Structure 1
Amino acid sequence: MITASRVFLIVMGLGFIVLGLNGLLNPLGHLAPYGLDYQAPGWMGEIRANYGGMHIGIGVLTALGAVHYAWRRNALALQLVFLGGLAVGRTLSVFLDGMPPTFALVFIAIEWVGAGLALWFLRSSN
């Protein structure tokens, strides 16, 4: 039987892997919606590492939590901390820096909901 927490981890894992592949293979396109155009080799490496490799790694670890029960709580904790950190950072930026593009507001909502679900699944799995 597939549980709600496993579905959550599968969806989040695949989402992070897809975002990571885009950041790794198409770094300029990945940042284009923000109006950013960093083409210097140092910036390209940072984009590929942070939006590419890191997101793929988080996606793989999250997906492993859906497959292996022993990893499930760690994968949920990873999602709580990572999504929570992104949500706090983006929300703070709204207040300090101004309103971002609409798609960034969608990311904020997804991150808050994802962090909340991860917390709920962690608490309900005791």
Structure 2
Amino acid sequence: MFEMFKAVKERQIDKAKSAMTPSDICTIGEKEVRVTKVTAKKFKEIIRVVERLPGLLLQVIRAPEHEVHAHLVAALELALDEVIAVTSILSGIEEEYLSENAGLDELVAYFIAMERHNNLSRTVKNVMSLLPKVQMEKSEQ
């Protein structure tokens, strides 16, 4: 009986702790990480370690709403090592620690928080809207 009471209390404490944690803090493994801006310097580091991830992320972002989950799962399966590398760059947590301690749910939550904080969906849409203009300008020259 005492164990059941203890488990209920722990869940209540976790829920209260979660409610008090700022939205710009994520937990990955046992570490708390602040969600920050993706700077040009971090972006350059990310570009050096990713191969498949950008294309897969664009497919997830551009997927119809009812297919986003399936696209996300497929992208994570195909590029999990790159997800770990990018998370390491953004969070400052070593890749080995992330591989051994980070839950998939924590990685996804961190990426969602990063996307919201950096408004990445809008940025990608804006970049995509520039592509036809750039291509048309090249063909006019």
| Structure-2-length-normalised TM-score | 0.27
**Structure having the higher Rg:** 2
Give the number of the structure whose residues are more often strand, by fraction: 2
Give the number of the structure whose residues are more often helix, by fraction: 1
| Structure-1-length-normalised TM-score | 0.29
Q: Which has the higher contact order (CA 8 A, sep 6+)?
A: 2
